[in-house]
Chains A and B, each alone.
Chain A
Amino acid sequence: MKSYRKSLFVAVLASFAGTAFADINVGVVVSATGPAASLGIPEKNTFALMPTSIGGEKINYLILDDASDTTTAVKNTRKLLTEDKVDVIIGSTITPNSLAMIDIVAEAETPMISMAASARIVDPVDAKRKWVFKTPQNDVQMSTALVEHMTSAGVKTVAFIGFADAYGEGWFQEFSKIAEARKLQIVANERYNRADTSVTGQVLKIMSAKPDAVLVAGSGTPAALPQKTLKEKGYKGAYYQTHGVANKDFLRVCGKDCEGTFLPAGPVLVAAQLPDDNPIKKVALDYTAKYEAAHGKGNTSTFGAHAWDAGILLQNAVPLALKKAKPGSKEFKAALRDALEGLKNVTVSHGIVNMSPTDHLGFDQRARVMVKVENGDWKLIK
């Protein structure tokens, strides 16, 4: 009898160990501190709201902060892959980090879902990028929306002022390409730093070029400075911002100086204003409701929604992969990658995803809307 009990005990223990082994480990790399913290913090918060099991398997989210630093992102990725043996990596927040992580996940044959904007992360899909997917819209999609809006509003000349880093540079390249094709003339191209206390020089240069409109390519509250300075110096043209500013703090800091500003954004920003027949509305409202319940009203940002979308992709792909292999194995990672690549018509908070072997983003025109700042809030324009 005694030995029977003992063996039962061992069996129970073994079964626990068994389930522990079968858990799906999701490694997350976010930039929760450093220059990209305003993007990374809502992303980090979002993982706490994600389901703890998919297809009956427990999901563990292992979250590491890369401090917006490329070296740390690479180090964290290696640690997650070798020590924690994760099945999939989500991250990082910003483009340079995500680009650096591609080699490592490809080497470890582990799928990765990036939350950074640049198209270069998944394009072209080659031997390495075959493992990489991403959830945010490409800059080119957003630039197209901007240029379309400008040309239809009769803007002939535009001035560009952007961050003196990968974000501003990337935007300028995409934007100038499309602007050139649409006969929109860029009359000034200026740069400033996130931490700059004054952009008077750049603003004066822009104003002496007399553009019909100004595009500010910055993210978060630092994007308010050029616009405030332009207003102060009496610039009367149209103002455009990028989707990088889509959070509440930007409206708080920019205040009345940002009234009437146009920007392209993911539909989640104005989820409540979407028409009811839009399938994105339900998914986006579900996310904002969950996020605001945990972090206060009006605090959702589109960046957190990118993390949420990565979660939705997993929820759709993991059950398919589970049919083929056990979590923790090499085969499971490969099956998960195949499942992600095969996702069709998945509605996420930013759009509708149709992956293919040549497109690891899968968004179409439904993934962006034009938004105007009106009465200190975002207003969807048709």
Chain B
Amino acid sequence: MDLQIALLLGQDGIVNGAIYALLALALVLVFAVTRVIFIPQGEFVAYGALTLASVQAGHTPGTLWLLLALGVAVTLIDAPASLRLGKARFFKLLGWQAIYPIVIAALVLGTAPRDWPMLLQILLALAIVVPLGPQLYRLAYQPIAEAPVLVLLIVSVAVHLALVGLGLLFFGAEGSRTPAFSEASFDIGGLTITGQSLWVICASALLIVALYIFFEKSLYGKALRATAVNRAGARLMGISTTLAGKLTFLLAAAIGTLSGILIAPITTVYYDTGFLIGLKGFVGAIVGGLASYPVAAAGAVLVGLLESFSSFWASAFKEVIVFTLIIPVLVWRSLTTHHVEEDE
């Protein structure tokens, strides 16, 4: 192993780590605000990448039908309550859950998004997949928002399995790739850096900064933080925990989908790719104790580097090495923190 190989491995590890970091942030965010361990986080990665790929291949992405179906379900469930709260509420519901999916569907079916410029295709993929996040929250988690963490975890497993199954139905068993955002590559001292890997790192960094600004400066961000710190207290201050939950899932879905779109040109994405990526993000999040954003992000980059170097030295044991990282971290955390039983 010489310096150049080490540099190449380091570069590869950081690019993968950047994606894991995004997912780790989303997992920490969802857990902090809603106490849900969001196993389906990875599915948004796969859905995002595969929706973009099928749009580019000229197929109608199956996620579009899921968006329509979940929209109808949410409309039917929420219509009576929203009517009681007034016409404006009802029309807002109708607009987001019924008219929005129909408009998107009309756009996909009526025009030929295959010929659009890539940026618009990416926006379309985001527009299809991201709303699934709040819809899932409404249907799967909101009715049991006060349940113990274990129940929420079990629901997460169920949602994950359902989404993976739907993914196989929508996209088939074989994977897809999308064209790179830029074909550019730079040669620095014998080290080739592709444009796409720069895209991944820059987009991740930008997203992390944007999240920081959102949580520090905006009212909604502060409301989410307040809910994370103390649910009951935030409620007493007039912050709707339902709104916080939906907003969190919207952010998590957006982060997941964007991660998928970013990695689709680097690697082949399958309907079930997301789970493993999400799991590695989860290892990062565990390093941060499911609470600290910077430590989670650092942990995720560590996972990426560890993965890259272990694939060089002992490729057959790569996953073993990566997931074994959890054990010393858990030992260290349980020795240094006083655990308080949270279930009230």
Q: How many residues of B contact A (CB 8 A)?
A: 37
Q: How far is the CA of A367 from the CA of B3 in the complex (A)?
A: 48
B window 291-344: CB within 8 A of A: 307-313, 315-316, 318-319
Given contacts A33-B168, A195-B270, A205-B312, contact A220 B173 (CB under 8 A): yes
A253-B175 in contact (CB<8A): yes
Q: How far is the CA of A204 from the CA of B1 in the complex (A)?
A: 9
Is B16 positioned at the interface, with any CB of A under 8 Å from its CB?
A: yes
Is A338 positioned at the interface, with any CB of B under 8 Å from its CB?
A: no
A191-B165 in contact (CB<8A): no
Is B266 positioned at the interface, with any CB of A under 8 Å from its CB?
A: yes
Nearest CB in chain B: distance from A37 CB, A: 3
A253-B315 in contact (CB<8A): no
Smallest Cβ-Cβ distance to B12: which chain A residue? A200
Given contacts A37-B168, A37-B173, A201-B309, contact A193 B268 (CB under 8 A): no
Q: How far is the CA of A38 from the CA of B171 in the complex (A)?
A: 11
Which DSSP category, helix, strand, loop or mixed, fits chain B's interface?
helix
Q: How far is the CA of A164 from the CA of B314 in the complex (A)?
A: 11
Q: How far is the CA of A33 from the CA of B172 in the complex (A)?
A: 9
Is B231 positioned at the interface, with any CB of A under 8 Å from its CB?
A: no
A221-B315 in contact (CB<8A): no
Smallest Cβ-Cβ distance to B194: which chain A residue? A232
Is B29 positioned at the interface, with any CB of A under 8 Å from its CB?
A: no
Which of the listed residues A191, A196, A250 has the most CB atoms from chain B within 10 Å of its own CB? Answer: A196
Nearest CB in chain B: distance from A231 CB, A: 13
Given contacts A191-B316, A197-B266, A204-B9, contact A33 B174 (CB under 8 A): no
Which of the listed residues B173, B175, B266, B273 has the most CB atoms from chain A within 10 Å of its own CB? Answer: B173
B277-A197 in contact (CB<8A): yes
Is B177 positioned at the interface, with any CB of A under 8 Å from its CB?
A: yes
Is B267 positioned at the interface, with any CB of A under 8 Å from its CB?
A: yes
Is A238 positioned at the interface, with any CB of B under 8 Å from its CB?
A: no
Q: How far is the CA of A192 from the CA of B165 in the complex (A)?
A: 24
B174-A221 in contact (CB<8A): yes
Nearest CB in chain B: distance from A225 CB, A: 6
Q: How far is the CA of A38 from the CA of B176 in the complex (A)?
A: 13
Give B157-174 as 1s and 0s: 1 = Cβ < 8 Å from A's Cβ atoms: 000000001001000111
B window 231-290: CB within 8 A of A: 263, 266-268, 270, 272-273, 275-277
A197-B316 in contact (CB<8A): no
A33-B176 in contact (CB<8A): no
Is A202 positioned at the interface, with any CB of B under 8 Å from its CB?
A: yes
Given contacts A33-B168, A41-B172, contact A191 B272 (CB under 8 A): no
Residues of B in contact with A (beta carbons under 8 Å apart): 5, 8-9, 12, 15-16, 19, 165, 168, 172-177, 194, 263, 266-268, 270, 272-273, 275-277, 307-313, 315-316, 318-319
Contacts A37-B168, A200-B9 supplied; 17 other A-B pairs, CB < 8 Å = A37-B173, A38-B172, A192-B315, A194-B270, A195-B275, A196-B267, A196-B318, A198-B12, A198-B15, A198-B266, A198-B267, A200-B8, A204-B312, A225-B268, A247-B174, A252-B176, A253-B176
Closest 5 CB pairs of A and B: A201-B311, A37-B173, A201-B312, A249-B174, A38-B173
